[in-house]
Chain A
Amino acid sequence: MAGDVIIETRSLSKVYRDFWGRQKVRALKALDLKIHQGEIFGLLGPNGSGKTTTIKLLLGLLFPTEGEALVFGKAATDVTKNEKIGYLPEESYLYRFLNAEETLDFYGRLFNMDKSTRRQRTQDLIDMVGLTRAKKRQLKEYSKGMTRRIGLAQALINDPQLVILDEPTSGLDPIGTREMKDLIIDLRKKGKTVLMCSHRLDDVQDVCDRIAILHQGELKKLGAVGDLLMVRDITQLQTRGLNGEAQREIEEIIRRHGGELVSVQNPTTTLEDLFLKVVQESEAHPGRRFVPETTGPSSPASN
């Protein structure tokens, strides 16, 4: 992978306990992950798979039970790392009694931005997310889509190097979803790193460079989207101008018949199919975990 490591987890585990300290659930089991600069990384998994726990651990909202989480080479609990992070939570947890301008101004102050910079960033971001006409309205009057937009704006107030998006397209209409995906791709073009988790597999497939699939707190798959979706035991030839006889000895026939070989490749499945397959396999073989290799391509391994 090209860029520097932005996020790294080493045997990251999280156990939730009850009031008396008794173990309630092991939400994350020895997660090893590296996310590099400039990539869009997707965390996938069914409900309760540990996606949100991973994000919360990376943001320092939870403390790991074992292992460690590093962001920009610093411990996840180190507040200074937040200077370079933008975070859009799943539900856009914002203060409903503030209006859009006040919201962005408030978060801008938290980044210690001076007044003129705050004003400029606020204006630019409100324009960008299309809330110019509603900027004086309190957030309690906003629709879910509008709330997502202002949530996104607050995540970008500091022009972050790492953007963490929890269900970024949730609540958005098709146009909003398209705009959000375009924006995520734009962020990559600007050299930003994006970590997102989503249930909408088509969104992930459209924008992510690499994905990790979690199930029951364990990492089940990790790799480039193209690699993971590739069906390796099937070769697909795409040709033009051939008749039916040419199908037995393809290359020879192509050569003999003067046909043009356009491509030889493996077909890809959909992310939805892959996701369902991983979940089914995980349920059939609980405890089998993907262990990423330190070098070379990633491969499945049982644990």
Chain B
Amino acid sequence: MNTPITEPTWVSAVVTWISVLLAVSAGGYVLAGLLAARTRGSLIDGFVGAAKGALDLPRDLMALSFRRLWAIAYHSILESIRRRLLLAVFGVLIVIFMFGGWFLPSRPTEQVKVYVSFVLLASTLIVLPAGGLLACLSLPSDIQDKTIHTVVTKPVRRLEIIIGRILGLTVVATAILTVMGAMSYIYMRRSVDGSLAELRQKMGEAKQQGDVKHETELKDSLDQIENKLIARVPVYGYDLTGPVINVGYETTYRYYIAGNSTDAAVWKFRDVPTSRLLALKSIPLEMTFSVFRTTKGQVGRGVLAQITYANPKTERMITDYPFEVREYYVDKQSLDNRPDAGRTYAEGEKILPEPPADPLSWLLDKSDGEMTIIVRCLSSSQYLGMARPDLYILIDTANFGLNFAKGVVGVWLRVFLIVSVAVMFSTFLSGYVAMLATAAVFAGGLCMNYLRGLAAGKSEGGGPFEALQRLIKHENLQRPLDPGIWTDLTKGVDGALQFILQGLTYVLPDLGVFNTGPLVANGFDIGIGVLLVNLVTALGYVIPFTIAGYFFLQSREIAR
């Protein structure tokens, strides 16, 4: 299971904010100056006019009136309702829910993941275009119908027009998402609960018939579903050392340790809430390892592994009983607080003859939140594969419904961003052109990692012109281009494009970071910290987009 664990940090959010604010504001000013130059006759007049408008920003900011903002926001809400957008949105949603189930895989173990991913994707695909469409068309249609003339001739700041619209359309999107989220949750729970009931019934029948194997299989499936219907609060290790063997897969996400050898995978943890573990009276671990077999092994038996829990400060260690690794499942192991003599207790090199009375307190004493987990593979000729996120301490579980709501907040943040981008474009572009521009930002935001690679020159096959040259000449991606004027020219143009792309990567919002759906689908809690950082990051984009929109609207002639 590939679970994203790299949480955004406050520092990265602040850095993003400052860079985007500067880039978008500067870009907005230059574009506003160029646009103003068209109507004012000369570049100098255009930039002077845009500068005057820009200088009004602090004054307009101070004069913001909540009543006016809400008037414009409420107006946008009424417009959406009276133009029956909501009916259209819910109509589409109902059709999707009615027939969506026909096309979804019905494997019970994947049901929660598939349904959660499906409903969150459906919500995104419905609300994002709806919000973007409204935001793109609202202001241009006001300008075209000239209804804006009666608004801007009132004491309304252009900033209020922009913020009011973003606010109003975001409220509309929030209302739609709230209803859609609730409907999606009910739809998903009804489907999953139906499957759970069916599995329980079959399990009862298997038990009655004495079919232990089938009963165990059904119980496994039941466990897998129930494991997804929670919101785990994990503590991940910050470092993994040990697995270095590549068993030959093209993708090298997991590296392997050899069985029955000195190989060991060592996870280092910090900030482990030891008081919580002591209260739980156990160290619950969850892991998803993969197994690479070089021999068939024993039929019906899994590969054996063993876990050692260590305190790096005191060098105290407890080695637990070996266990069979369950491939393709979430393995659960926990070290309880029983002074079990079958386990090995050691302090440095010295093995204790008797278990301590309170093993967990003994182990965690003076740890300062640091802990080391060591995993060894005990089966000869077998290999155990793992990556850093494959093992974590399950510190708590949270409510699944609440976590689902947090996943919907991730969708909301994307909508919020797209609405602000669309409103910005609509201040100087016509409705349909603004839609195209917004769609381009959306597409760019979804493939930011690719764009960053392209901007850094790390793309295989070179930039777009080099790729074109390779296409025409039927050359593969690895072979360097023949030296010559065409190659120099191609690389030169690609270099210039790279420079532009680098700038764009600062301006385009990375929509991927707001996608918390996989966490919900895989049963992991979305921390409040993650939500807050994502919210701040979103605001970090929305504020410069608003400022740029202000520059555009301030420097354009409304009556043209």
Interface of A toward B, CB cutoff 8 Å? 15-17, 19-21, 23, 56, 59-63, 65, 79-80, 82-83, 85, 87, 89, 91, 93-95, 97-98, 102, 106-107, 109-112, 138, 151, 154, 158
List, in ascending order, chain B residues with CB within 8 A of A82's CB: 153-156
Contact A109 B68 (CB under 8 A): yes
Contact A61 B557 (CB under 8 A): yes
Distance A106 CA – B154 CA, assembled complex (angstroms): 11
Please give the distance in Å from A42's CB to the nearest CB on chain B.
20
- Which of B36-44, B113-121, B334-342 sits within the interface? B36-44
Contact B150 A87 (CB under 8 A): yes
Contact B41 A93 (CB under 8 A): no
List, in ascending order, chain B residues with CB within 8 A of A97's CB: 78-79, 82-83
Contact B559 A62 (CB under 8 A): yes
Contact residue among A63, A79, A87, A106 (Cβ-Cβ distance under 8 Å from B39): A63
B149 within 8 A of A: yes
Residue-wise, chain B 66-78 has the 8 Å CB interface mask toward A (1 for contact) of 0110111011001
B560 within 8 A of A: yes
Please give the distance in Å from A105's CB to the nearest CB on chain B.
8
Interface centre among A21, A110, A111 (most CB of B within 10 A): A110
List, in ascending order, chain A residues with CB within 8 A of B41's CB: 15, 17, 21, 23, 65
* B65 to A, closest residue via Cβ: A112
Contact A110 B155 (CB under 8 A): yes
B146 within 8 A of A: yes
Please give the distance in Å from B42's CB to the nearest CB on chain A.
8
List, in ascending order, chain B residues with CB within 8 A of A91's CB: 146
B558 within 8 A of A: yes
Contact A110 B68 (CB under 8 A): yes
Please give the distance in Å from A89's CB to the nearest CB on chain B.
5
Contact A109 B70 (CB under 8 A): yes
8 shortest interchain CB distances as A-B pairs: A109-B71, A61-B559, A97-B82, A110-B154, A93-B146, A82-B155, A87-B153, A56-B559
B145 within 8 A of A: yes
Contact A93 B147 (CB under 8 A): yes
A21-B38, A91-B146 are known contacts. Are A112 and B557 too (CB-CB below 8 A)? no
A79-B156, A80-B155, A112-B65 are known contacts. Are A63 and B49 too (CB-CB below 8 A)? yes
Contact B559 A110 (CB under 8 A): no
Contact B152 A60 (CB under 8 A): yes
Contact residue among B82, B153, B156 (Cβ-Cβ distance under 8 Å from A61): B153
Contact A85 B153 (CB under 8 A): yes
B151 within 8 A of A: yes
Residue-wise, chain B 149-178 has the 8 Å CB interface mask toward A (1 for contact) of 111111111000000000000000000000
Interface centre among B65, B149, B150, B151 (most CB of A within 10 A): B150
Interface of B toward A, CB cutoff 8 Å? 37-41, 49, 60, 65, 67-68, 70-72, 74-75, 78-79, 82-83, 145-157, 557-560
Contact A107 B150 (CB under 8 A): yes
Report whether over half of chain B's contact residues are helix, strand or loop; otherwise say mixed.
helix
A61-B559, A65-B40 are known contacts. Are A79 and B147 too (CB-CB below 8 A)? no
* A95 to B, closest residue via Cβ: B147
A21-B38, A89-B146, A98-B78 are known contacts. Are A83 and B152 too (CB-CB below 8 A)? no
List, in ascending order, chain B residues with CB within 8 A of A109's CB: 67-68, 70-71
Contact residue among B146, B149, B155 (Cβ-Cβ distance under 8 Å from A112): B155
List, in ascending order, chain A residues with CB within 8 A of B154's CB: 82, 107, 110-111, 158
List, in ascending order, chain A residues with CB within 8 A of B157's CB: 79
Interface centre among B60, B75, B145, B155 (most CB of A within 10 A): B155
List, in ascending order, chain A residues with CB within 8 A of B146's CB: 89, 91, 93
Distance A62 CA – B72 CA, assembled complex (angstroms): 22
* B71 to A, closest residue via Cβ: A109
Contact B71 A62 (CB under 8 A): no
Listed by A's residue number, 23 A-B pairs whose Cβ atoms lie within 8 Å are A16-B560, A20-B38, A21-B38, A21-B41, A59-B152, A59-B153, A60-B152, A61-B559, A62-B558, A63-B40, A65-B41, A79-B157, A85-B153, A87-B149, A89-B150, A93-B145, A93-B149, A98-B78, A106-B74, A109-B67, A109-B70, A110-B72, A110-B154
Distance A284 CA – B124 CA, assembled complex (angstroms): 66
Distance A79 CA – B161 CA, assembled complex (angstroms): 13
Distance A266 CA – B140 CA, assembled complex (angstroms): 55
A17-B41, A65-B40, A154-B150 are known contacts. Are A106 and B559 too (CB-CB below 8 A)? no
Distance A23 CA – B42 CA, assembled complex (angstroms): 11
Known: A15-B41, A59-B152, A110-B71. 6 other contacts (CB 8 A): A82-B153, A89-B149, A95-B79, A109-B68, A111-B154, A112-B65
Distance A96 CA – B560 CA, assembled complex (angstroms): 21
Distance A13 CA – B68 CA, assembled complex (angstroms): 33
List, in ascending order, chain B residues with CB within 8 A of A95's CB: 75, 79, 147
List, in ascending order, chain B residues with CB within 8 A of A59's CB: 149, 152-153
Please give the distance in Å from B555's CB to the nearest CB on chain A.
9
Please give the distance in Å from A163's CB to the nearest CB on chain B.
12
Distance A45 CA – B447 CA, assembled complex (angstroms): 58
List, in ascending order, chain A residues with CB within 8 A of B148's CB: 93
List, in ascending order, chain A residues with CB within 8 A of B78's CB: 97-98, 102
Please give the distance in Å from A67's CB to the nearest CB on chain B.
13
* A157 to B, closest residue via Cβ: B154
List, in ascending order, chain A residues with CB within 8 A of B39's CB: 17, 21, 63
Distance A95 CA – B49 CA, assembled complex (angstroms): 30
* A20 to B, closest residue via Cβ: B38
Please give the distance in Å from A23's CB to the nearest CB on chain B.
8
Contact residue among A62, A79, A151 (Cβ-Cβ distance under 8 Å from B155): A79
Distance A95 CA – B40 CA, assembled complex (angstroms): 30
Please give the distance in Å from A243's CB to the nearest CB on chain B.
62
Distance A97 CA – B155 CA, assembled complex (angstroms): 23
Please give the distance in Å from A35's CB to the nearest CB on chain B.
17
Contact B67 A61 (CB under 8 A): no
List, in ascending order, chain A residues with CB within 8 A of B79's CB: 95, 97
List, in ascending order, chain B residues with CB within 8 A of A65's CB: 40-41
Distance A87 CA – B154 CA, assembled complex (angstroms): 9
Contact A106 B71 (CB under 8 A): yes
Distance A38 CA – B70 CA, assembled complex (angstroms): 35
* A18 to B, closest residue via Cβ: B38
List, in ascending order, chain B residues with CB within 8 A of A19's CB: 38
Please give the distance in Å from B557's CB to the nearest CB on chain A.
5
Please give the distance in Å from A174's CB to the nearest CB on chain B.
26
List, in ascending order, chain A residues with CB within 8 A of B60's CB: 79
Contact B149 A110 (CB under 8 A): no
Please give the distance in Å from A134's CB to the nearest CB on chain B.
17
* B560 to A, closest residue via Cβ: A62
* B34 to A, closest residue via Cβ: A21
List, in ascending order, chain A residues with CB within 8 A of B153's CB: 59-61, 82, 85, 87
Distance A20 CA – B34 CA, assembled complex (angstroms): 11
Contact B152 A61 (CB under 8 A): yes
List, in ascending order, chain A residues with CB within 8 A of B147's CB: 93-95
Please give the distance in Å from B142's CB to the nearest CB on chain A.
9
* B158 to A, closest residue via Cβ: A79
Distance A79 CA – B49 CA, assembled complex (angstroms): 16
